[in-house]
């Protein structure tokens, strides 16, 4: 079985494993106060062109989203997000569990646009009974989205502008950030993102690390007491150095970007193979997740040798599925898959 079902099917990049081994016997203070974390923070601040940013390391995505949102909202406020957003659908109500409604905006491709945010904001404040409704308190986006799509610089600038006008912090879930940065046609740098968002995170779990997400807080007003929130939400790793070592390795010389590019290259190869064969796609993805729409007999054929994720029924005889690549995807395996796609009847 060759696995394309997700981007977390292997361990970590070999350079990270090597570094973990080399440092294994070092003695360090706990909870992210060690020198590896400090170095990793410095690399990330530099990449962001944000010398004053606060950088914190957490273990996984749900925890990171919950911690960020808990630290920003007051109890009567909600997080504005696409109806397909990870916090809206796939975190077992973790945001509601800490007391907040997810205020959803319609979206077919996972993205939301500036005008939608403005409209929701105005609808709230123009309602005479607005205090009977959840007040929008922040805007949450994923880049890339759950659907593999990405924001252009102008889209993100427009969103950022509206958010600042409305006093709504803009929060970016970057669980797959590297794959967005490496996507064809991307015109956003990490520094742009740092300029346009109030808080965002750089995903490690899906891009080279065993686990780990690096939260970057740009907006000074949102920095206060964040470590309390990490601890309260169960994200304060005792051996915080493990996170520092991994992000140090990913960011000291561009490894993060390099392995992200590999994943996207592999995904595009797969995409092109499906396209050449005449299949269409559920989303117009330029990143490491591809969503071909395939007939049932093709799916049955492919599932003998490959794992992928079921996405949704498209019609009686077709489904959209997800093929994921990652930093760890072997070109050899992609070539085998492509050959099998080409051979499909």
Q: Which stretch of DSSP H or E encloses residue 170?
A: strand 170-173
Phi, psi of 17 (to 5 degrees): -60, -40
* Burial 128-141, CB ≥16 within 10 A → b, else e: eeeeeebbbbbbbb
Q: Please state the separation of Cα 228 from the chain's center in Å.
A: 24
DSSP 3-state of 203:
strand
Tell me, by CB under 8 A, how many residues bind a copy of itself: 79
Here's the x/- map for a copy of itself, 244-283, by CB under 8 A: it reads as ----------------------------------------
Cβ of residue 196: shortest distance to a copy of itself, in angstroms?
Answer: 26
Q: Rule CB under 8 A: is residue 233 a binding residue for a copy of itself? A: yes
Q: Which stretch binds a copy of itself (CB under 8 A): 23-31, 47-55, 150-158, 294-302?
A: 23-31
Q: Which stretch binds a copy of itself (CB under 8 A): 64-72, 159-167, 187-195, 214-222?
A: 64-72
Q: Of residues 205, 246, 288, 325, which one binds a copy of itself by CB under 8 A?
A: 205
Q: Which of 53, 77, 91, 78 minimizes the C-alpha distance to 197?
A: 53
Nearer to a copy of itself, 228 or 303 (CB): 228
Q: Rule CB under 8 A: is residue 167 a binding residue for a copy of itself? A: no
Q: Of residues 51, 52, 106, 132, which one binds a copy of itself by CB under 8 A?
A: 132
Across the beta sheet with 54-58, what order do the strands follow? 54-58, 213-217, 199-203, 170-173, 135-142, 77-82, 102-105
Cβ of residue 342: shortest distance to a copy of itself, in angstroms?
Answer: 23
Q: Rule CB under 8 A: is residue 78 a binding residue for a copy of itself? A: yes
Contacts of 161 (CB under 8 A, 6+ apart): 114
Nearer to a copy of itself, 143 or 206 (CB): 206
* Burial 90-108, CB ≥16 within 10 A → b, else e: ebeebbeebebbbbbbebe
Q: Which stretch binds a copy of itself (CB under 8 A): 98-106, 108-116, 164-172, 278-286?
A: 98-106
Q: Which stretch of DSSP H or E encloses residue 54?
A: strand 54-58
What's the CA gap between 316 and 309, in Å, rounded?
18
Q: Rule CB under 8 A: is residue 232 a binding residue for a copy of itself? A: yes
Cα 166 to Cα 117, 134, 274: the distances in Å are: 9, 15, 43
Q: Both ends of the chain: CA-CA distance in Å? A: 21
Q: Which stretch binds a copy of itself (CB under 8 A): 86-94, 138-146, 279-287, 314-322?
A: 86-94
Phi, psi of 127 (to 5 degrees): -80, 130
Q: Of residues 97, 191, 300, 317, which one binds a copy of itself by CB under 8 A?
A: 97
Q: Count of H helices and E strands in the chain? A: 14, 13
Cβ of residue 219: shortest distance to a copy of itself, in angstroms?
Answer: 16
Q: Rule CB under 8 A: is residue 227 a binding residue for a copy of itself? A: yes
Nearer to a copy of itself, 7 or 158 (CB): 7
Q: Of residues 38, 96, 335, 342, which one binds a copy of itself by CB under 8 A?
A: 96
**Interacting residues with a copy of itself between 26 and 55 (CB under 8 A):** 26-30
**Interacting residues with a copy of itself between 306 and 335 (CB under 8 A):** 307, 310, 328
Asked whether 60 and 264 are in contact (CB, 8 A), the reply is no
Q: Rule CB under 8 A: is residue 304 a binding residue for a copy of itself? A: no
Q: Of residues 120, 134, 190, 193, which one binds a copy of itself by CB under 8 A?
A: 134
Q: Of residues 15, 42, 89, 164, which one binds a copy of itself by CB under 8 A?
A: 89
Asked whether 270 and 322 are in contact (CB, 8 A), the reply is no
């Amino acid at each position: 079985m060759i696995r394309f079902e997700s981007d977390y099917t292997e361990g970590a990049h070999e350079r990270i494993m090597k570094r973990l081994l080399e440092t294994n016997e070092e003695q360090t203070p706990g909870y992210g106060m060690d020198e590896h974390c400090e170095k990793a923070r410095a690399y990330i601040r530099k990449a962001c062109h944000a010398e004053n940013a606060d950088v914190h390391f957490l273990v996984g995505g749900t925890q990171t989203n919950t911690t960020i949102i808990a630290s920003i909202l007051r109890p009567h406020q909600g997080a504005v997000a696409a109806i397909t957003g990870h916090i809206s659908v796939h975190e077992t109500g973790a945001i509601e569990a800490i007391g907040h409604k997810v205020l959803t905006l319609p979206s077919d491709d996972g993205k939301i646009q500036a005008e939608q945010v403005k409209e929701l904001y105005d609808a709230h404040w123009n309602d005479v009974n607005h205090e009977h409704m959840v007040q929008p308190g922040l805007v949450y986006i994923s880049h890339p989205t759950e659907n593999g799509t990405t924001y252009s610089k102008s889209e993100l600038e427009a969103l950022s502008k509206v958010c600042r006008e409305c006093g709504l912090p803009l929060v970016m879930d970057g669980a797959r950030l590297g794959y967005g940065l490496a996507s064809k046609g991307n015109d956003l740098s990490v520094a742009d993102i740092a300029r346009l968002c109030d808080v965002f995170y750089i995903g490690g779990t899906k891009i080279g690390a065993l686990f780990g997400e690096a939260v970057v807080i740009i907006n000074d007003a949102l920095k206060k007491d964040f470590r309390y929130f990490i601890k309260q939400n169960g994200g304060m790793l005792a051996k915080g150095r493990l996170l520092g070592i991994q992000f140090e390795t990913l960011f000291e010389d561009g490894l993060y970007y390099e392995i992200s590019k590999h994943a996207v290259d592999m995904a595009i190869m797969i995409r092109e193979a499906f396209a050449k064969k005449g299949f269409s796609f559920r989303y117009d993805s330029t990143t490491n997740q591809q969503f071909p729409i395939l007939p049932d007999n093709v799916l049955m054929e492919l599932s003998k040798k490959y794992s992928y994720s079921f996405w949704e029924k498209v019609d009686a005889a077709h489904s959209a599925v997800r093929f994921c690549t990652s930093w760890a995807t072997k070109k050899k395996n992609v070539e085998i898959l492509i050959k099998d796609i080409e051979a499909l009847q």
